[in-house]
Amino acid sequence: MKIAVVGTGYVGLVAGACLAETGNDVVCADIDAGKIDRLNRGEIPIYEPGLEPMVERNLREGRLSFTTDVAAAVREAEVIFIAVGTPPGEDGSADLQHVLAVAETVGRNMPADGPEKIVITKSTVPVGTANKVRAAIRRHTDRPFHVCSNPEFLKEGAAVQDFMKPDRVVVGVESEHARARLAELYAPFVRQGNPILFMDIASAEITKYAANAMLATRISFMNTIAHLCEAVGADVGLVRQGIGTDDRIGPAFLYAGIGYGGSCFPKDVKALVHTLRETGVDPAILEGVEKVNAQQKKVLLERVTERYGEDLSGRTFAVWGLSFKPETDDMREAPSLDVVRGLVSAGARVRAHDPEARHEATRHFADLLAEGGLTLCEHNYDCLDGADALLVLTEWHAYRTPDFERIRTGLREPLVFDGRNLWDPARMAETGFEYVSIGRTPAAPAVAA
């Protein structure tokens, strides 16, 4: 099929590359000329495992191209994916101006003949958006076309795998023609038997928000349980095992930590809260999820100030991990933003490392870097020299089995604040560490008799 993907952000780039991988002729369009030039040279603006070689291969073999001519891309395509950003407004609602601008472009560039176009919202959009897209297109054309909703369920760090072998494909359609063409388009991705779930458009639009809100709820729920465990001397890891082995619950997204971040969960929970309020549905559950998460991002900072006092002047802290999760360079809404800024605001200096997010950290922390409050280190062990304590903020694989003796001797004192529960408290105590984690009894270092 001839496909246009409008928007070369995270979703658009992954979708375009994966659709080209299965033999389609894909044009990814974006108004950012600098980004398009880099993409045509095979330079990928995000870190996502497996994406760069896929883009390079499909560029080389002619199935994938990048352009700034959005109008030409939509004129030539039968299937048009709208994958532009929907940033949150001040009230939490999704900003649809970019989505509707693409719809207007589609309407203005509808050819007089050829196959009926299928216009698909791939961006995360609130219920009712398809109606607005349809109206925007119809203002400019009398030609028949089909509007669909096809929400993405991509996990950063595993997006290529998620697209190529999805748990399910959700498609909201309004016509048999669109249903048949999209069943054909997605057939290569569900050969192992996972379903394509066709439904009405409103249900598809809600599904994306409901899925992310459910996952965010599980995270905030476990963080609440973690506080209970700390209050009574229980271990949240054992509680997780006890409930996660229940088939009705399962173990996923039940890890206690310092909260969720990224481009999806915070934005989508806010947008769903806004939609619930607009429709007169009580959003109390999700308001609680947001409140818990906002508090959880400050937990490690609170632990540090409990240990050292509110004034951290003269202190230096090593930080491992800046991205909101491993296997991505994304720092949007990352807990590290709160923790690092909080430490520096209290007078401390921070030495930080992340395997992939260094360039993003340079952008997010430009002021702290310029003022000298933050130093970015090339290697994780470089952060330790002379630091009062180590804070672990992201559970990168490279941090899971480190040289503990090197950590202990590098720090001024063997103190670790682990926001991701990477290490075993008993082992840390045995090796001489004071170890503070989330939802587990703090482990004091062993004292020789």
User: Annotated active-site positions, please?
Assistant: 264
Structure tokens of 141? 């054309």
Q: What are phi and psi of 363, to 5 degrees?
A: -80, -45
CA distance 67 to 113: 23
**Among 199, 232, 53, which residue's Cα sits nearest to residue 127?**
199
CA distance 259 to 255: 10
CA contacts within 13 A on the Cβ side of 42: 11
Q: Which stretches within 109-175 are classed as H helix?
A: 129-138, 159-164
CA distance 187 to 204: 19
Q: Which stretches within 201-315 are classed as H helix?
A: 201-232, 236-244, 265-278, 284-296, 299-308
CA distance 191 to 171: 17
CA distance 268 to 212: 7
CA distance 235 to 225: 10
305 in the Ramachandran plot: left (φ > 0), alpha (ψ -120 to 50) or beta? alpha
How buried is 434 (Cβ within 10 angstroms: 0-12 exposed, 13-18 middle, 19+ buried)? Answer: middle
- In b/e form, how buried is each residue of 25-64, taking b as 16+ CB within 10 angstroms? bbbbbbeeeebbeebeeeebbbbbeebbebbbebbeeebb
Q: What angle do CA 18, 20, 23 make, to 5 degrees?
A: 120
Q: What angle do CA 133, 19, 100 make, to 5 degrees?
A: 15
Identify the three-state secondary structure at position 281: coil
Structural contact between residues 55 and 17, judged by C-beta atoms closer than 8 angstroms: yes
Question: Reading across the β-sheet that carries 169-172, which strands appear in turn?
Answer: 64-67, 25-29, 2-6, 79-82, 117-121, 145-149, 169-172, 196-199
Matching residue, tokens 């430490």: 343
CA distance 89 to 348: 33
Other residues' Cβ atoms within 10 Å of the Cβ of residue 140? 15
CA distance 195 to 41: 36
Residues recorded for the chain: 449
